[in-house]
Structure 1
Amino acid sequence: MPKPYPAEFRRDVVAVARKHEAPLAQIAKDFGISEATLHNWLKKADIEDGSSPGVTEKEAAELREAKKRIRLLEQENEILRRAAAFFARELPPKMTYPLVLDLAADGIPVAVACRVLGFSKQAFYKWKANPVSDRDRADAHLINAALDVHLDDPAFGYRFIADELPALGISAGENRVQRLCSSQRIWSVFAKKRGLSRKAGPPVHEDLVDRDFTATALNELWLTDITEHRTDEGKLYLCAIKDVYSNRIVGYSIDERMKASLAVSALRNAVALRSPRGTVVHSDRGSQFRSTVFVRALKSNGLTGSMGRVGACGDNAAMESFFALLQKNVLDRRRWSTRQELRLAIVTWIEKTYHRRRRQRALGRLTPIEFETIETDLQAA
């Protein structure tokens, strides 16, 4: 393609042609251009001078610039329209990088997309060279592990999750765990976050008891709940399981943390002692009893779950009455220095006093052990 003639040269040729001192053909030949080219230059010169109708070069340049600006605005509007979902979720810039790729595939320049979305081209191309960094992979792996831990026990906050991660082969600082848990809204069910309102978790079982705390045989209905008490070393938690028919505590577990494993341990102890089948296990809607591991333990042992309503102590009143006795006879009798001291006191009271020395009128003035022994002998006979 031939190079265009300089603007100054064109002006000089037009000026010579307008003097009409020679035919246009001769002028074109003298300047080494075609006659058609000279006619074209004269026509454009007349338009620029305003003597002939048409679009001047300045107007043409303005028109091209206006079209360019309109096209740019359309691209920006398209970017904002397609990025609305990303902005609504308040994702970090690197999470919008894939959108730049999609826009580029539709003909929108990368520079325009990056400018509108608020990050540099260099950052985008760095991400494009390595879309998933080692840090991102590690964070994703940690988040998945945190979700698994929290799913097993919704009572776990980021501190307990951080304590559980080493057992899964993951090393992470508590601050990092807190940051990732916060970004994924992984919070303990007991946490109180400003601006958030939490409702009690949904029941995983129907209420099969309906406040009718009676049974016609051993291992027909069990009640379970968790209580806590302070020591100078910190809190101690007790999960107990009570057989409604004999009022015996058929299983219990004591720990310094109120985890789902506490309820599961108590259930396993009860199953090991009684070997039940089809027993109804009634509880409140505590996260420990709604946890995946506890529900799985019920199912694997052939037990049936039951749950009361939220905030209705009467739905588990028979279990609450046992904890009231424990509170009066052990927990509130003195100040406890260590967890081990309180633990031994609880175990001793349950096994020695409650089971074997405390007679109950509901059992015909028999102790739970005496009542079960007689009942077992009668069934054997």
Structure 2
Amino acid sequence: MVNQLKEHYPIQMICNVIGYSRSRYYYHQNPGKENRKEVILKSAIADVAGRYPTHGYRRITQQLRREGHTVNHKRVSRLMRGMGLLAKQRVQRKRTTNSVHGYKRYPNLVKALTMVRPNQVWVADITYIRLREEFVYLAVLMDVFTRGIRGWHLDWTMEKSLTITALEKALLGHTPEIHHSDQGVQYAANDYVKMLEDNDVKISMAAVGKAYENGFAERLMRTIKEEEVDLSEYRNFREVNERIEMFLEEVYMKKRIHSSLSYLTPSEFEEKWRYEQENIQM
């Protein structure tokens, strides 16, 4: 049945409807024409791709190696192409930035800055999450050097309490040298700015209309949307809050590897950096 339907619908959609896992589907495709090792590898690829649907073949390869498979990226690329797992869908975003306000603007302090240590620069952004009949909003702060999540908060509205609460949580454990964001009203508001200034944090902002100047935060939000939000259907606020907490604090921080971190997770990368610094000072 799956083979008949796949000419008209995506494999993932078919598997979701009939309750058939994608890894199981690929595992049973033409078993007589493939050796057992390749069938097992394709099943493993499908499993990893299901957990990390936006990973390209290089990160899929690294994740497979972490899980005990001996494989190179060329073979993974070939198999993923044959399995139809290389194409990515782009998701349109709802606008969450209102930069039309009378608050003070700040220059971009990070444009030519090289990141060399944790808490040198934090980036901040807001995204929306659709429930069945309404929206909720997520504010996140990320450390650029480690890609670690420093603080986050989910709320019903985009009022200033959304970003202030996320910042309060972040400052409980760390303090950045520079806070970088877009020029949205939530980040330029007096209460938010005062909290940064009270902690001796320099304020940096991307220019209006230049989202790429806050590219690290943009990519983080895209990851959250593509790898958690767009794959889920939340019934209520409590459920989305629990799922976002699990994704950010467990999956993203402790399981999701980053090519920019030498294929380590943010937690592993920061722990490794601090260990190396301690040994240098000894």
TM-score normalised by the chain length of structure 1: 0.46
Q: In structure 2, do the counterparts of structure 1 residues 363 and 369 end up closer, same or farther at CA, with 3 Å as the change threshold?
A: same
Residue 118 of structure 2: aligned partner: 218
Question: Can you list the C-alpha shifts for 1:94-137, whole angstroms capped at 9, x where unaligned?
Answer: xxxxxxxxxxxxxxxxxxxxxxxxxxxxxxxxxxxxxxxxxxxx
* Structure 1 position 284 matched with structure 2 position 185: no
Aligned 8 A contact 2:179 2:202 in 1: yes
Residue 270 of structure 1: aligned partner: 170
How many residue pairs are counted as aligned between the two chains? 183
Residue 160 of structure 2: aligned partner: 260
1:310 Cα deviation after fit: 1.1
More displaced stretch, 198-207 vs 231-240: 198-207
Q: 1:300 aligns with which of 170, 174, 198?
A: 198
Q: In structure 2, do the counterparts of structure 1 residues 342 and 199 end up closer, same or farther at CA, with 3 Å as the change threshold?
A: closer
1:335 Cα deviation after fit: 2.5
Aligned 8 A contact 1:280 1:305 in 2: yes
Q: In structure 2, do the counterparts of structure 1 residues 300 and 360 end up closer, same or farther at CA, with 3 Å as the change threshold?
A: same
Name structure 1 gaps, 5 residues minimum.
1-188, 191-197
More helix by share: 1
Structure 2 CA distance for aligned equivalents of residues 364 and 314 of structure 1 = 23
User: Which residue identity lines up with residue 207 of structure 1 in the other structure?
Assistant: N
User: Which residue identity lines up with residue 118 of structure 2 in the other structure?
Assistant: L
Residue 50 of structure 1: aligned partner: none
SS at match of 1:273: coil
Residue 107 of structure 2: aligned partner: 206
Aligned 8 A contact 1:234 1:339 in 2: no
1:268 Cα deviation after fit: 1.5
Q: In structure 2, do the counterparts of structure 1 residues 229 and 242 end up closer, same or farther at CA, with 3 Å as the change threshold?
A: same
Name structure 2 gaps, 5 residues minimum.
1-96
SS at match of 2:161: helix
Tell me which of the two structures has the higher relative contact order, counting C-alpha pairs closer than 8 angstroms and 6 or more residues apart. 2
1:234 Cα deviation after fit: 2.1
Q: 1:229 aligns with which of 129, 132, 145?
A: 129
1:343 Cα deviation after fit: 1.4
SS at match of 2:145: coil
User: Which residue identity lines up with residue 257 of structure 1 in the other structure?
Assistant: T
> Which consecutive segments of 4 or more residues in structure 1 shift more than 6 A?
none
User: Which residue identity lines up with residue 341 of structure 1 in the other structure?
Assistant: E
Structure 1 CA distance for aligned equivalents of residues 127 and 245 of structure 2 = 14
* CA RMSD after TM alignment: 1.9
1:232 Cα deviation after fit: 2.2
Structure 1 CA distance for aligned equivalents of residues 232 and 251 of structure 2 = 18
Aligned 8 A contact 1:214 1:245 in 2: no
Structure 1 CA distance for aligned equivalents of residues 231 and 151 of structure 2 = 24
